[in-house]
Amino acid sequence: MPAVVLVGAQWGDEGKGKIIDYLAAEADVVVRYQGGNNAGHTVWAGGRQFKLRLIPSGILYPGTICVIGHGVVVDPRVLVEELDYLERQGVDTSGLRISPAAHLILPYHVALDEAEEDRKGAGRIGTTRRGIGPAYMDKFARVGLRVEDLLEEEVFLEKLAAQVAEKNALLERVYGLPPFKVEEIAAAYLPLAERIRPYVANTVTIVSEAVESGKNVLFEGAQGTLLDIDFGTYPYVTASHPIAGGACVGAGIGPTAIDRVIGVVKAYTSRVGEGPFPTELHDEVGQWIRERGQEYGTVTGRPRRIGWLDLVMVRYARRLSSLTDLALTRLDTLAGLDRIKVCVAYRDRETGEETREFPIGLRALARMEPVYVEMEGWGEEVARATRYEELPAAARRYVELVEEVAGVPVSILGIGYDRQQTIHRRPIFVPRGR
Ligand code: GDP
């Protein structure tokens, strides 16, 4: 039963897309279980670059079944745009399966996301303004519209009318913004239903049968552990569960069905948006890493905040998702630095106590200062290695320190953006001995 869950172990942007793409080549089924079209993946396939936001990148491999599970929020416009884009590129999209229970992102969600972020001003969350948070709010308020509703015109119009009335009251009276018209939304969205209908299927059965029959199933998490709504750095988090447990609730499988959980870790840390960041670099080293790693928001172009690798955080990710393996990416980005620091513990500024446990709550995190181990850096030759043994000794020491402190083996290493620049130390799609 090789069911493998892949999660980001930091604040997202760890380089999951490339690892997912690599594993998707061996997968029969690839499943998304949370988030929406805020999970931009850039993948290279057949010498071409593909940019995907919603559909699993497994779609690029003919014959792979790609599932958008219950836990995902779907913007029908983005979905259809992405289908059109893939088809224009000659990609066969017939393997896509969409859960009828996935919630819809509608135009008022996008308007409310923007209005709320603007209202918060300096206190904003840093959302992608694509309506994802408001769509999840409606889901939990039990007033959301789902993919199944879009497929039945009468039901759609009735539910839409109720929601538009309610959202217009908010938009007009609270935010002073123009209202939406039911007819306009209906005219734009009902035609999309016919484009989506052929892909809608019982994804619970599809995923569960695949797992039961021993197929290779890959569950791809979007965003990252520290952005989890419960376990992340609340309130600067996303509205869903990027941790491995999210695969259970978002795709409809039980925890015992999962064989391996891979945490993707970047060789340094980056984060978008606000909140405490213990290993943040405010100096020229941070600037150097940002430039070399092109750490700028894909949509906004905003510079990402950069810091040293934080292994206290990775240990926390190990606990939350019961990680069995790590994929350590971007060793090549750090190449050229004389000295590299790694955070192996936190020290509480108030009490002076040291800990390797990630604290709960922002105020506690803000009190933590990093305890570093300083290591020798490595050079550009890191990107040319084809086996682990060929990596510079300093890079191997770095990997070994990560394994020791995090307590999880590094099974995959990223040494460049190209698919070939990946070192596999252990196969992923084999069941562990039980
Ligand atoms: P995600 O948000 O975690 O899915 O991040 P992406 O998959 O979008 O990765 C961000 C960028 O990092 C992409 O342009 C990737 O090609 C690039 N990338 C991934 N792994 C590596 C690596 O090991 N080295 C380098 N140099 N780039 C990488």
Say if 74 falls within a structural domain. Answer: yes
**Domain match, 41 and 115 both:** no
Give residue 417's domain range: 3-93+201-424
pLDDT attached to residue 432: 45
58 lines ligand 1 (CB under 6 A): no
Q: Indicate the number of domains in the chain.
A: 2
In a domain, 98, yes or no: no
Instruction: Taking residues 15-23, report their average pLDDT.
Output: 90
Looking at residue 433, what is its pLDDT? 44
Q: Which CATH number goes with the domain that contains 112?
A: 1.10.300.10
Which of 169, 184, 199 is where one domain is finished? 199
Active site residues: 13, 41
Task: Select from 10, 18, 48 the residue to mutate for testing ligand 1; criterion: most ligand atoms less than 8 Å from CB.
Answer: 18
Which of 173, 199, 225 is where one domain is finished? Answer: 199
15 lines ligand 1 (CB under 6 A): yes
Flag whether 323 is in a domain.
yes
> Does 333 contact ligand 1 (Cβ within 6 A)?
yes
Residue nearest to atom 17 of ligand 1 (CA): 417
Please state, in angstroms and rounded to a whole number, the distance separating the CA atoms of residues 339 and 381: 16
pTM of the model: 0.95
- pLDDT score of 369: 98
Q: How far is the CA of 254 from the centre of ligand 1 (A)?
A: 30
Residue 329 CA to ligand 1 centre (angstroms): 8
Contacts of 213 (CB under 8 A, 6+ apart): none
Q: What are 404-421's pLDDT values in tens digits?
A: 999 999 999 999 988 889
Question: Does residue 195 share a domain with residue 227?
Answer: no
Same domain, 49 and 129: no
pLDDT recorded at residue 431: 53
Percentage of the chain exceeding pLDDT 90: 85
Domain boundary among 199, 216, 237: 199
Q: Does 429 fall in a domain?
A: no
Q: Residues 390-405: pLDDT tens digits?
A: 999 999 999 999 999 9
Under 8 Å between Cβ of 390 and 303:
no
On whether both 62 and 110 belong to a single domain, the answer is: no
434 band by pLDDT with thresholds 50, 70 and 90? very low
Q: Are residues 291 and 305 in the same domain?
A: yes
| Within a domain: 300 | yes
Q: Are residues 173 and 210 in the same domain?
A: no
Q: How confident is the model at residue 299 (pLDDT cuts 50, 70, 90)?
A: low
Same domain, 73 and 114: no
Compute how many other C-beta atoms are within 10 angstroms of the C-beta atom of residue 319: 14
Residue 347 has pLDDT above 70, yes or no: yes
- Give the residue from 192, 163, 219 showing the smallest Cα distance to 78: 192
Q: What is the pLDDT of residue 42?
A: 78
CATH code of the domain in which 208 resides:
3.90.170.10
